């Protein structure tokens, strides 16, 4: 392989200088760009077989207790949803808006897409046609997990849209956002997640401690990383990404800090097909 030395801007002659050359390839031998921010562009472009990027983000406004999952429903006055309802039984879901404008003929959302996992932890999605403040009929797909939902057609939602499994809210699109704000995720079957970065921001000038909680399949939630700050924002970069096995649940939680605060969390991971 020809070697080029950038400081002297010349190709190296045989035997004059020895450099160690490191290349990253996927499981099929395809070379992946490993330089700077561009290193994951082939993965984001879906050009690397067996690899997929996941970006998750959540927000809570006006939390009233700790601990609480960083998702919009934790900002309501109901303490029932401080922690995400992970152990809700699998079931069909329905959707409902707080505004009549999220319906045919309205100025808001017309349809939304719900994405998650089925009872075998495989990818699943289903589309719903909004009917405003009247709850839609339950869909035909059975969801074990809801990982996200977003407006598919129409305009950004006017009202708050709840995604419900029976009477339990398992997802929520805050008014005006068009997308769920849920700092949580479940690794699908046949995949391993490699989490590379986590960022938090806090609006209140008081201490906030956020734990990146992971529950392996059949296990219990435990902290894999913590981030502490006094307002502002902070990030943790994992030089060696956190390895999270299939069917594991990830839940970013405020563990200690002020109530009635606005907190945001986002994290990035790459899903890799298991061999």
Please give the model's pTM, rounded to 2 decimal places. 0.85
Q: What is the Cα–Cα distance from 96 to 159, expressed in whole angstroms?
A: 9
Domain edge (last residue) among 173, 196, 214: 173
Token pair belonging to 92: 């069909």
147 burial (CB, 10 Å; 0-12 / 13-18 / 19+) is buried
User: Is 196 found in the same domain as 145?
Assistant: no
- pLDDT tens, 1-16? 566 666 677 766 665 5
User: Is 269 found in the same domain as 188?
Assistant: yes
Q: What is the Cα–Cα distance from 30 to 232, expressed in whole angstroms?
A: 41
- pLDDT tens, 95-152? 999 999 999 999 999 999 999 999 999 999 999 999 999 999 999 999 999 999 999 9
Confidence of residue 55 (pLDDT cuts 50, 70, 90): very high
Q: Which domain holds residue 19?
A: 4-49
User: Is 148 found in the same domain as 35?
Assistant: no
> How crowded is residue 32: how many other Cβ atoms within 10 Å of its Cβ?
16
Dihedral of CA 183/186/190/196: which sign? positive
Confidence of residue 35 (pLDDT cuts 50, 70, 90): very low
> What percentage of the chain exceeds 90 in pLDDT?
68
Residue with tokens 């939304």: 112
Q: Specify the number of domains making up the chain.
A: 3
User: Is 60 found in the same domain as 40?
Assistant: no
> How crowded is residue 97: how many other Cβ atoms within 10 Å of its Cβ?
27
User: Is 156 found in the same domain as 133?
Assistant: yes
Residue with tokens 């609006």: 203
Q: Is the residue at 56 inside a domain?
A: yes
Check: CB of residue 268 under 8 Å from CB of residue 186: no
User: Is 140 found in the same domain as 66?
Assistant: no
Token pair belonging to 15: 């035997």
User: Is 169 found in the same domain as 148?
Assistant: yes
Domain edge (last residue) among 173, 208, 228: 173
């Amino acid at each position: 392989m020809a070697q080029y030395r950038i400081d002297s801007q010349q190709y190296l002659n045989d035997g004059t200088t020895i450099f160690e050359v490191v290349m990253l390839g996927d499981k099929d031998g395809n070379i992946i760009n490993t330089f700077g921010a561009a290193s994951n562009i082939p993965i984001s472009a879906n050009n690397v077989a067996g690899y997929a990027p996941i970006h998750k983000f959540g927000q809570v406004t006006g939390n009233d207790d700790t601990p609480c999952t960083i998702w919009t429903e934790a900002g309501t006055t109901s303490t029932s949803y401080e922690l995400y309802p992970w152990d809700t039984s699998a079931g069909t879901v329905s959707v409902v808006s707080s505004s009549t404008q999220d319906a045919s003929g309205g100025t808001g959302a017309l349809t939304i897409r719900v994405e998650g996992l089925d009872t075998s932890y495989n990818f699943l999605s289903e589309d719903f046609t909004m009917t405003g403040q009247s709850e839609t009929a339950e869909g035909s797909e059975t969801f074990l997990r809801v990982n996200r939902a977003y407006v598919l057609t129409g305009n950004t939602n006017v009202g708050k849209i709840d995604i419900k499994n029976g009477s339990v809210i398992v997802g929520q699109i805050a008014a005006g956002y068009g997308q769920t704000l849920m700092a949580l995720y479940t690794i699908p079957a046949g995949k391993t997640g490699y989490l590379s970065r986590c960022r938090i921001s806090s609006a209140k000038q008081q201490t906030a401690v956020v734990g990146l909680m992971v529950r392996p399949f059949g296990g219990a939630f435990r902290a894999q990383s913590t981030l502490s700050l006094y307002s502002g924002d902070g990030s943790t970069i994992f030089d060696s990404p956190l390895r999270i096995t299939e069917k594991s649940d990830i839940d970013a939680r405020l563990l200690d800090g002020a109530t009635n605060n606005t907190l945001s969390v986002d994290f990035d991971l790459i899903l890799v097909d298991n061999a």
